[in-house]
């Protein structure tokens, strides 16, 4: 059997429960995860590990997830990594704002297991 390197997903999320939820869901589907609740740390981790996908919470304590996404997209070595925004900003116009910010996809909280996994697979399989 051919051993395939598991895909790495960087989760940027400041809520511990949600972090655990995403982590468990991803691990259950055979993905490896990297975790941080800090936007600056996210950039470092991305440079260091080059993940295959980044799940980005938009409302982070220090710096907005949109801002971090912008830095990622401005960095040539990182701009190819797809960013999926996961946010509770579910007001009208939020989705457009997030897509304009450079995110490839958008998941609104609360997530459902099915759409979450479908969205992740879309970028990793």
The binder of another protein chosen from 88, 97, 102, 123 (CB under 8 A): 88
The binder of another protein chosen from 47, 80, 113, 122 (CB under 8 A): 113
Bridge partners (DSSP) listed for residue 34: 10
What sign does the CA torsion over 28, 5, 74, 72 have? positive
Q: How far apart are CA 92 and CA 39, in angstroms?
A: 25
Our finding on whether 92 is near another protein (CB under 8 A) is yes
* Sheet strands side by side (includes 83-87): 32-36, 8-12, 53-57, 83-87, 105-108
The window from 2-10, 37-45, 66-74, 111-119 that contacts another protein (CB under 8 A) reads 111-119
Residues 10-49 binding another protein (CB under 8 A) are 15, 17-18, 21, 24-25, 28
Our finding on whether 99 is near another protein (CB under 8 A) is no
Our finding on whether 121 is near another protein (CB under 8 A) is no
What is the helix, strand, coil percentage profile of the chain, to 5? Answer: 40, 20, 40
Q: Where do contacts with another protein occur on this chain (CB under 8 A)?
A: 15, 17-18, 21, 24-25, 28, 59, 88-92, 108-114, 116
């Amino acid at each position: 059997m051919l051993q395939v390197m598991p895909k790495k997903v960087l989760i940027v999320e400041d809520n511990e429960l949600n972090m655990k939820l995403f982590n468990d869901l991803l691990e259950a589907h055979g993905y490896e995860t990297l975790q941080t609740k800090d936007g600056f740390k996210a950039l470092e981790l991305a440079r260091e590990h080059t993940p295959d996908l980044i799940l980005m919470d938009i409302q982070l304590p220090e710096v907005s997830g949109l801002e971090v996404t912008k830095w990622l997209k401005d960095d040539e070595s990182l701009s190819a990594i797809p960013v999926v925004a996961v946010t509770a900003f579910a007001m009208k116009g939020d989705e457009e704002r997030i897509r304009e910010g450079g995110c490839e996809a958008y998941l609104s909280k609360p997530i459902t297991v099915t759409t979450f996994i479908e969205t992740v697979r879309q970028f990793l399989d």
